Chain A
């Protein structure tokens, strides 16, 4: 069965510093991996996805993520954090072996960027 883990409930970083939000996954086939961000009282907003090809994926608002097959990870990164990046971040996975139709979301990581 497919699963996804976000090992940190909260990540704290100072503005201007690089940030990393961790995600690991488990699937039987090839993974389709997604990152979403959620601001208070809002729905999830798509940031980026990995389907195939280049392991480094660039997305919205300067975010990027690196797919690492050997470590089954898809960590979200940004070179320089902004206070406005403070939000709840969700990693999600789909398993190509199941037709890729069921999305499993992680529990979320709250990012707090301090000015």
Chain B
């Protein structure tokens, strides 16, 4: 079984430029998560999808960040414009849904973003 796929693995951009990250979850996983991981810290949730619906985006900085999961499968996270402080690793995870929190999340390798 293929795991969670993310691309690109690395991205270097100049500040004020746009950037997009792509994630393809494990087949059959209805729930998809985007996390931000700063150096030396644990992941922090940005947004959670149940199928194509964003059910928790309270931590997503909506002035510059956006996400979509149009067909309830793969997802794109966008930053426009990027700021220096956005340099971090962006992790995507997926899980089965509907067991009230007991489900295991499976993570992709992440996209390491460097904003210059």
Q: Residue B45 contacts which of A46, A102, A107, A108 (CB distance < 8 angstroms)?
A: A102
CA A108 to CA B89, docked complex, whole Å: 15
List A residues at the B interface (Cβ < 8 Å). 32, 34, 36, 41-46, 49, 51, 90, 92, 94-96, 99-103, 105-108
Extra contacts besides A101-B55, A102-B45, A108-B40 (17): CB < 8 Å:
A32-B102, A34-B104, A36-B107, A41-B109, A42-B109, A43-B93, A43-B109, A90-B42, A90-B43, A94-B101, A96-B101, A99-B100, A99-B101, A100-B100, A101-B56, A102-B56, A108-B41
A-B contact pairs, 26 of them (CB 8 A): A32-B102, A34-B104, A41-B112, A42-B110, A43-B4, A43-B6, A43-B107, A43-B108, A43-B110, A44-B43, A45-B107, A46-B105, A49-B102, A49-B104, A51-B102, A90-B43, A96-B100, A100-B100, A100-B102, A101-B48, A101-B55, A105-B42, A105-B44, A107-B42, A108-B40, A108-B41
